[in-house]
C-alpha cells in the first residue's frame, strides 16, 4: 500500500473522487477519477466507482502500481475489485488470457498481477476462458492456494455468472458429467456426476434485448439472460452444459451459439468463508 488514511468527519458523505483529494492534494478531479476507475483506490479493501459516497471511519487506500501493469493497453488491463485478508479479486476483460502462456501467446492477467500487488507474491487461483470476462481470484499468502482448493473440494466456494443464452431457458440444475479430454471442446456425457459441486445451476432473469455490442447476426433471435452458479467448475462447464440442452451462449461459435461481437459469459460474483471470515467480490458485466 502506498498511501492510506481514515475518512474524517469533514470528508464523510463526499463522493470518492472528492474525498481522494485528502491523499492526493495536488491531483485534479479528472485524474483522481481515472485512478479510481483503474482499480488503484480502495475503501475498506474494496474498489468502488468515483460516485460512491464515503463514510466516517472507512480506510481509504491508494495502491502502488508497478511497471508491468502500465505496459498493457487500457482495454487489456485488469482492475482490482476487492481485497480481504489473504485473498483479492481482479476483473479480467474479455479477450485477455487469464494465465501467462508458455512461449508467449499474448498478454495475460497473470503477468499484470505484480503491478497491482507491488512487493508481494500474488498467485492466480482460478482461470477464465479468454472470451469470458469477470472475476479472477488471487492468493496473497503462502498457504492461500491450499486453503482455497480445500474449500473448492468441499463445495464451499460459490461462483456466480451472468450469461446470455439462445432461446427461452427454464430454471434447471444440470448434472451431467463432463468429458474435458478433448482440448478444444468439452463433451456432455449421459451419466450424472455424483459430485453436486460439479453441477450447474441455471436461473432465468428475463429476456435479453439486442444491444449495439451484440452484433447484427443475433437480430431477431430469442435470448435469455441467466444467473448461473457453479462451485468447482470444469473447463467450459457452463458453455457445454447449456449447449447440451439446446441453449448455447450468445457469441459462442465453438458450441453453436449465435454470432456476436463477444462471448456473453461473465463471472460476476465469488463468495466463500474460511478461518479469516467471508470473502466476497462482485463486478457487473458491461453488456
CATH of the domain at 47: 3.10.290.10
**What pLDDT shows up at residue 152?**
95
Identify whether residues 25 and 56 lie together within a single domain: yes
Distances (CA, A) of 106 to 4, 90, 95, 208: 35, 19, 10, 32
| 54: nearest Cα among 4, 18, 90 | 18
**What pLDDT shows up at residue 36?**
83
Confidence of residue 258 (pLDDT cuts 50, 70, 90): very high
Task: Give the mean model confidence (pLDDT) for residues 92-96.
Answer: 96
The percent of residues in the chain predicted with pLDDT above 90, rounded, is 70
- Kind of pairing, strands 59-62 and 41-43? antiparallel
Structural domain containing residue 42: 3-62
Asked if residue 190 lies in contact with residue 235, where contact means CB atoms within 8 angstroms, the answer is no
Task: Give the mean model confidence (pLDDT) for residues 74-83.
Answer: 89
Q: What nine digits make up the cell of 96? A: 485477455
Half-sphere exposure of 137 (CA within 13 A, CB side): 26
Identify whether residues 191 and 255 lie together within a single domain: yes
| Residue 171 in domain | yes
**What pLDDT shows up at residue 275?**
83
* Residue bearing the bigger pLDDT, 70 or 232: 232
Per the structure, how many domains does the chain have? 3
Of 105, 128, 153, the position where a domain reaches its end is 153
| Residue 147 in domain | yes
Identify whether residues 170 and 228 lie together within a single domain: yes
Of 153, 176, 197, the position where a domain reaches its end is 153
| Residue 219 in domain | yes
pLDDT digits (tens, 9 = 90+) for 134-190: 999 999 999 999 999 999 999 999 999 999 999 999 999 999 999 998 778 999 999
| Residue 180 in domain | yes
Long-range contacts of 232-235 (CB under 8 A, 24+ apart): 232/152, 232/153, 232/155, 232/157, 232/195, 232/197, 232/198, 233/126, 233/159, 233/198, 234/178, 234/180, 234/186, 234/198, 235/180, 235/186
Identify whether residues 164 and 147 lie together within a single domain: no
Task: Output the pTM of the full model.
Answer: 0.77
Task: Give the mean model confidence (pLDDT) for residues 226-253.
Answer: 97
Confidence of residue 276 (pLDDT cuts 50, 70, 90): confident
Of 14, 36, 62, the position where a domain reaches its end is 62
Question: Is 21 exposed, middle or buried, given 0-12, 13-18 or 19+ CB atoms closer than 10 A?
Answer: middle
- Kind of pairing, strands 59-62 and 87-92? unpaired
CATH of the domain at 97: 3.30.70
Q: Which residue has the cell 449421459?
A: 190
Amino acid at each position: 500500500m502506498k498511501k492510506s488514511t481514515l475518512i474524517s468527519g469533514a470528508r464523510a458523505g463526499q463522493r470518492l473522487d472528492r474525498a481522494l483529494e485528502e491523499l492526493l492534494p495536488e491531483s485534479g478531479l479528472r485524474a483522481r477519477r481515472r485512478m479510481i476507475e483503474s482499480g488503484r483506490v480502495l475503501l475498506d479493501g474494496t474498489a468502488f466507482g468515483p460516485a460512491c459516497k464515503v463514510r466516517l471511519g472507512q480506510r481509504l487506500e491508494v495502491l502502488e502500481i508497478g511497471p508491468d501493469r502500465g505496459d498493457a493497453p487500457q482495454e487489456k488491463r485488469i482492475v482490482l475489485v476487492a481485497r480481504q485478508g489473504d485473498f483479492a479479486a481482479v476483473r479480467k476483460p474479455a479477450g485477455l488470457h487469464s494465465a501467462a502462456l508458455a512461449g508467449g501467446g499474448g498478454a495475460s492477467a497473470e503477468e499484470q498481477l505484480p503491478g497491482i500487488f507491488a512487493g508481494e507474491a500474488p498467485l492466480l487461483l482460478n482461470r477464465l476462458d479468454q472470451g469470458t470476462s469477470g472475476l479472477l481470484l488471487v492468493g496473497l499468502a503462502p498457504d492461500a492456494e491450499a486453503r482455497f482448493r480445500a474449500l473448492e473440494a468441499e463445495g464451499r466456494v460459490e461462483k456466480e455468472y451472468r450469461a446470455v443464452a439462445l432461446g427461452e431457458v427454464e430454471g434447471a440444475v444440470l448434472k451431467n458429467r463432463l468429458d474435458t479430454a478433448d482440448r478444444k471442446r468439452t463433451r456432455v456425457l449421459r451419466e450424472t456426476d455424483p459430485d453436486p459441486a460439479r453441477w450447474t445451476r441455471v436461473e432465468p432473469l428475463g429476456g435479453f434485448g439486442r444491444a449495439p455490442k451484440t452484433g447484427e447476426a443475433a437480430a431477431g433471435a430469442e435470448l435469455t439472460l441467466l444467473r448461473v452458479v457453479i462451485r468447482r467448475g470444469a473447463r467450459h462447464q457452463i458453455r457445454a452444459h447449456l449447449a447440451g440442452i439446446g441453449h448455447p451462449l450468445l457469441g459462442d461459435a465453438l458450441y453453436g451459439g449465435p454470432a456476436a461481437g463477444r462471448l456473453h459469459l461473465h463471472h460476476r460474483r465469488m463468495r466463500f468463508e474460511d478461518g479469516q471470515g467471508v470473502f466476497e467480490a462482485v463486478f457487473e458485466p458491461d453488456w
